């Protein structure tokens, strides 16, 4: 009987040791590098800005081309064209700070009764800065319950707390821009030439241990002009594996010139740790005008000057997955 008790005691101690070993594997601190991530963290192919920056001294370019088709049943015009997006992101001075240049060029032909108009210009020129004001993963450790498997599998309510950033910048519009609002130019929506402020509130949640990322942008644009614009963008991204991710997105904006709601979807492929390829398609839900456009793009970063900023973090609590 004594030998049986001794045997059972050894089995029990062995079980406790193995359990403790498994727990330690998951809670050993890993080195995390501030805002910087091991692989490129691109805003593309969606339209939201992520809450996190690229990292101090990191330079990132996100660019693409697209084709667009519009038809306005009420004003009876058709528009076909192409364009290019270009965004430069530069981490400067602090890990939380990112300088941004966001440009969009479009060339199109607009056909209306008795008139055909060709135009090409910068539809958007925005310069500004983004700053992370709250990081829910800073100094956070996911607690492991040594005695309850159920407790460790329970929903982590902390993931509902978003990272929060703010963006402030300015629109630059030239006087001869053909996209300035005018009755002489169908499909024109820029409010007026000159400079006008643009501000944005950005939130980002990592759900399901980082497999899902939910980003929101609340935007006030062309502030102080006769036609200010207010909008939102909601993006839900799913990482399928180390290379592929997909997203769905809803974008809405409203002004006295133009209002719309856009549904967008697409995918991204990680070519290497510093380069990402992407493709997307977008459409709206009305015919004044109906809009359909799709494009492809690439994101590339240079991190040769980055210096590691080491923060102890719990493995499995990575704060900056790709959006």
Domain that holds residue 44: 31-314
Average pLDDT over residues 174-189: 71
Quick check: 4 pLDDT over 60? Answer: no
Please indicate, yes or no, if residue 172 is contained in any of the structural domains: yes
Closest CA to 129 of 91, 169, 90, 171: 169
Q: Which residues contact 282 (CB under 8 A, 6 or more apart)?
A: 262, 263, 264, 265, 291, 292, 293, 294
Give the pLDDT confidence of 115-130 residue by residue, as tens digits. Answer: 888 989 999 999 999 9
The residue written with tokens 């056909």 in the block is 111
Task: Say which residue, 201 or 16, is predicted with more confidence.
Answer: 201
Please indicate, yes or no, if residue 11 is contained in any of the structural domains: no
Please indicate, yes or no, if residue 7 is contained in any of the structural domains: no
Please indicate, yes or no, if residue 51 is contained in any of the structural domains: yes
Quick check: 74 pLDDT over 50? Answer: yes
Please indicate, yes or no, if residue 16 is contained in any of the structural domains: no
**pLDDT of 257:** 86
Closest CA to 60 of 39, 84, 33, 74: 39
Average pLDDT, the chain: 82
The H or E element containing residue 287 is none
Quick check: 171 pLDDT over 70? Answer: yes
Please indicate, yes or no, if residue 272 is contained in any of the structural domains: yes
Please indicate, yes or no, if residue 10 is contained in any of the structural domains: no
Task: Say which residue, 312 or 112, is predicted with more confidence.
Answer: 112
Question: Which among 19-28, 164-173, 305-314 has the top mean pLDDT?
Answer: 164-173
Please indicate, yes or no, if residue 106 is contained in any of the structural domains: yes
Give the pLDDT confidence of 183-196 residue by residue, as tens digits. Answer: 455 566 677 788 99
CATH code (residue 178): 2.40.160.40
Give the count of domains, the chain.
1
Task: Say which residue, 25 or 236, is predicted with more confidence.
Answer: 236
């Amino acid at each position: 009987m004594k030998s049986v008790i001794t045997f059972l005691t050894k089995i029990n101690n062995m079980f406790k040791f193995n359990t403790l070993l498994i727990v330690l594997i998951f809670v050993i601190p890993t080195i995390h590098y501030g805002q910087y991530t091991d692989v490129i963290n691109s805003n593309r192919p969606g339209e939201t800005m992520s809450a996190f920056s690229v990292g101090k001294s990191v330079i990132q370019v996100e660019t693409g081309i697209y084709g667009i088709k519009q038809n306005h049943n009420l004003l009876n015009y058709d528009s076909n064209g192409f364009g290019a997006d270009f965004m430069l992101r530069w981490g400067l001075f602090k890990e939380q700070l990112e300088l941004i240049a966001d440009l969009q060029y479009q060339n199109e032909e607009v056909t209306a009764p008795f008139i055909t108009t060709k135009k090409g210009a910068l539809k958007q020129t925005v310069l500004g800065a983004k700053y992370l004001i709250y990081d829910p993963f800073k100094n956070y450790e996911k607690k492991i319950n040594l005695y309850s498997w159920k407790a460790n599998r329970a929903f982590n309510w902390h993931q509902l707390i978003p990272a929060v950033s703010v963006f402030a910048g300015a629109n630059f519009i030239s006087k001869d821009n053909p996209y300035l609002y005018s009755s002489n130019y169908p499909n024109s929506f820029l409010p007026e030439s000159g400079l006008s402020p643009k501000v944005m509130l950005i939130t980002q949640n990592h759900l399901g241990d980082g497999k899902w990322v939910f980003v929101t942008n609340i935007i006030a644009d062309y502030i102080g002009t006769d036609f200010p614009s207010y909008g939102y963008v909601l993006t839900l991204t799913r990482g399928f594996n180390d290379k592929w991710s997909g997203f769905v997105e809803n974008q809405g904006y409203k002004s006295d010139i133009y209002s719309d709601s856009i549904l967008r979807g697409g995918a991204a492929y990680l070519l290497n740790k510093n380069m990402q390829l992407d493709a997307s398609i977008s459409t709206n839900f009305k015919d004044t005008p109906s809009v359909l456009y799709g494009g492809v793009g690439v994101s590339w970063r240079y991190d040769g000057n980055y210096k590691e900023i080491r923060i102890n973090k719990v493995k499995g609590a990575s704060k900056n997955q790709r959006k």
